[in-house]
Amino acid sequence: MELTLGTPSLLFPAVSLLLLAYTNRFLALASLIRDLQAQYASTHRRNLLAQIDNLKRRVRLIQTMQATGAGSLLLCVGSMFLLFGGLPEAARWLFGASLVLMMVSLALSVREIWISVTALNIQLAEMESDQ
């Protein structure tokens, strides 16, 4: 397989959009955490603690998602640099590593989505118990 400068550059738009989506998720969680903290300070409801714990795990996951996504982009750039420098074999390995980091980032994203569904189920259970 021949690796050209164009191949790693194909990941740039995908990684950029993923990082933007991850940042939006992070900002939404930050806002939600602030709201829940204010609610807990005034009510001390125990179910809020479960939601806050859930959000802590999600924030850590998003941080790791962002780091692996950025690492993927950095390795793509390194791969292009190696191709430009006439080291195609090393460039292939670095590009392969960038693809692995991208897969890790996407797998973490799926995990974070599952955790967010758990948070929604906590909220729904509270609504059902209030009826």
Predicted local distance difference test score (pLDDT) of residue 92: 92
| CA pair distance 114, 131, nearest whole angstrom | 26
Task: Going residue by residue through the chain, which has 131 residues, state the pLDDT in tens, using 9 for 90 and above.
Answer: 677 777 777 787 888 888 899 999 999 888 888 888 888 888 877 777 777 888 888 999 999 999 999 999 999 999 999 988 999 999 999 999 999 999 999 999 999 999 888 878 877 887 777 76
Our CA dihedral for 61, 23, 19, 69, rounded to 10 degrees, sits at: -30
pTM above 0.85?
Answer: no
Written as one string, the DSSP assignment of 16-55 is: HHHHHHHHHHHHHHHHHHHHHHHHHHHH--HHHHHHHHHH
Q: Cβ–Cβ contacts within 10 Å for residue 110, how many? A: 8
Predicted local distance difference test score (pLDDT) of residue 44: 79
Cβ 83 vs Cβ 5: under 8 Å: yes
| CA pair distance 69, 102, nearest whole angstrom | 6
Question: Is residue 66 domain-resident?
Answer: yes
Predicted local distance difference test score (pLDDT) of residue 115: 87
Question: Is residue 20 domain-resident?
Answer: yes
Question: Is residue 104 domain-resident?
Answer: yes
| CA pair distance 89, 98, nearest whole angstrom | 14
Question: Is residue 31 domain-resident?
Answer: yes
Predicted local distance difference test score (pLDDT) of residue 7: 76
Question: Is residue 1 domain-resident?
Answer: no
Instruction: Take residue 128 and report the two structure tokens written for it.
Output: 């059902």
Domain that holds residue 69: 7-130
Question: Is residue 2 domain-resident?
Answer: no
The number of distinct structural domains making up the chain is 1
